[in-house]
Amino acid sequence: MFDIDNFKSINDRYGHHIGDLAIKAASKRTRRWLKKHDLVGRIGGEEFLIVLENTSKKEAYNIADRIRHGIETQVFQFDDVTVEFTISLGVAALNEHTTSLLGLMKQADDALYRAKFSGKNKVCLAA
């Protein structure tokens, strides 16, 4: 899971139209780092879920970090407005203790909050 860091400040500074464009841009940019059969979708606000098929936790972490870095280094141009932002990500993988999608989402969400509250623009692994 990931979300855009300090998203409220984007909306407050540039307006909701630019905030919406930032959400779309984050999704599009993320898609570049995924395989064709992987999924990315918005699950609410500025929060996204990525599903990686047949991917180890270590591989998922590496993909997440490439996505994080790709967003961090991108300058987004929306009309006449230039916006830079970062994302925080939480990574979880199916294992013998977590076999449901909801359980997996909860673990990824907990890891995402650790990334947010430990400084943002980070990737954290689920425990």
As annotated, the active-site residues are: 46
Torsion-angle region of 88 (φ positive above 0: left; ψ -120 to 50: alpha; else: beta): beta
- 3: closest CA among 42, 58, 52? 42
- Contact yes or no for 26/18 (Cβ under 8 A): no
Parallel, antiparallel, or unpaired: how do β-strands 87-91 and 123-125 relate?
Answer: parallel
